[in-house]
Amino acid sequence: MIDVRRIRTDYDTVRDALARRGGALKELEQVRELDAQLRELTAERDQIRSEVNAISKEVGTLRRDGRSEEAEAKQVESRALGEREKQLADAADEIGARTRDLLLHIPNLPSVDAPDGAHADDNVEIKRVGPGDEPAAWAEHQRVPHWDIGTELGILDLERAVKMSGAMFTMFRGAGATLSRALCQLALDHNSDAFEEVRPPTVVLTETMISTGHLPKFADDAYCFERDNLWAIPTAEVPLTSLARDEILDSADLPMRLMAQTACFRREAGSAGRDTRGLLRVHEFDKVEILAYAMPDQAAELHADLLRRAESLITALGLTYRVLDLCTGDLGNSSARTFDIEVYAPGVDQWLEVSSVSWFSDYQARRANIRYRVAGEKGTDMVHTLNGSALAVPRVWAAVVETHRQPDGSVKIPEVLLPYFRGATEIRATK
């Protein structure tokens, strides 16, 4: 949520910032109008409440002194005020609810540093490591799509996954499952120097989904257990961000860094028919997420650190990648600035988004009511939240298998993963 007070006091700046990402100007204007009404109503309501409170005190005194007739008269007076108060309160509640609902639908303001642009084509590539998608850089044996490699080596069983769960569900087998697990473990081990490992619930309440900005706007993208009013998380960002919900953190504990490996569930409602083959787009996948709560002046450095950490994993796996600075038009709803990491998968000849490293400023914190206090100082402020995928399994799995495929059809296991492979150094067909 953006701050209503900013809408009140700095409307033009807010409007211009929002305009840069092409969003919700109508809602913004409505919020401004409703907020003005709301303040009038609550001021009047509070005035009446104040009178009622004063009268009630008098009634108490009069009754104690046995002057019940005078008390009676005061009660009648107060009763009349009470009716007016109720009208005002109802009106205020109604407008307050509408304001909040609008506010929940307004995206975050982009950072001044985020490049302008309308869609993905306008994202700015700021870095490229490895040969990229130069055709000459890749050998023939690396030009095999991962689903074929998976079948050849018996490490990917999509057919049976579909039998169990339907299209866009996956199953790794044998060394393929080991690879999946090894990737997660590598990511966790790699960040254990600074991040607390968490194993959160993967099914959460509606309120938890609202905090991160995944509801109410994007309900169609998530799986819902209607009978129990629970949602399957699309990313560990959801529970990890709610971990501190409604809490006031001590500045000494900031930045607070958390990481978690979880399954992630996505309905991919808008993308039927796209990337249907293989592991490029699936309904359930494992991911290691890294996340931080910070004070505003710590945020920039943390954002850079999260990106560095995500990059170094990709580098360690020997993959080619590029980093994009997302333009205002392509920014996620809650984000102020996002860097995407895309790895190049030679077998399918595609750049695959494997990590989004985002800074949410205080947008999520305001939704989730997460504040901090500086010891000895008065008052509290909203924290900033940041997060990124350290490693998302299926796409990285695909890129690893395609990149490291050998001329004889086997897949060489990257050195950093060897500790997790029980002595094996390559993946070969078992029969």
**Cβ(200)–Cβ(260) below 8 Å:** yes
Count of positions (residues) in the chain: 431
Q: Is 151 in the site for RNA (CB under 7 A)?
A: no
Q: Is 419 in the site for RNA (CB under 7 A)?
A: no
**Cβ(181)–Cβ(398) below 8 Å:** no
Q: Hey, is 355 helix, strand or coil?
A: strand
Stretch that binds RNA, among 46-54, 122-130, 314-322, 407-415 (CB under 7 A): 46-54
**Among residue numbers 68 through 127, which ones bind RNA (CB under 7 A)?**
74-75, 78-79, 82
The alpha-helical segments, DSSP class H, found in 128-266 are: 146-153, 158-165, 175-191, 206-212, 237-242
Report, in Å, the least distance between residue 39 CB and RNA. 5
Q: Is 43 in the site for RNA (CB under 7 A)?
A: yes
Contacts 24+ apart (CB under 8 A), 329-332: 329/21, 329/22, 329/117, 329/118, 329/119, 329/122, 330/117, 330/119, 330/120, 330/122, 330/123, 331/21, 331/107, 331/108, 331/110, 331/114, 332/213, 332/356, 332/358
Nearer to RNA, 5 or 431 (CB): 5
Stretch that binds RNA, among 53-61, 120-128, 272-280, 289-297 (CB under 7 A): 53-61
Which of 84, 353, 373, 428 is the catalytic position? Answer: 353
Residue among 15, 29, 37, 42 that touches RNA (CB under 7 A): 42
Q: Is 227 in the site for RNA (CB under 7 A)?
A: no
Is 395 considered catalytic here?
A: yes
Question: Could you tell me which residues are beta bridge partners of residue 407?
Answer: none
Is 257 considered catalytic here?
A: no
**Cβ(384)–Cβ(367) below 8 Å:** no
Stretch that binds RNA, among 164-172, 265-273, 287-295, 376-384 (CB under 7 A): 376-384
Is 100 considered catalytic here?
A: no
Q: Is 55 in the site for RNA (CB under 7 A)?
A: yes
**What amino acid occupies position 180?**
S
Residue among 27, 46, 148, 221 that touches RNA (CB under 7 A): 46
Is 143 considered catalytic here?
A: no
DSSP string, 46-57: HHHHHHHHHHHH
The two three-digit tokens of residue 153, written as one number: 């080596």
Question: Which are the catalytic amino acids?
Answer: 266, 281, 353, 356, 395
The footprint of RNA (CB under 7 A) covers: 4-5, 39, 42-43, 46-47, 49-50, 52-57, 59-60, 63-64, 74-75, 78-79, 82, 248, 371, 373, 376, 378-380
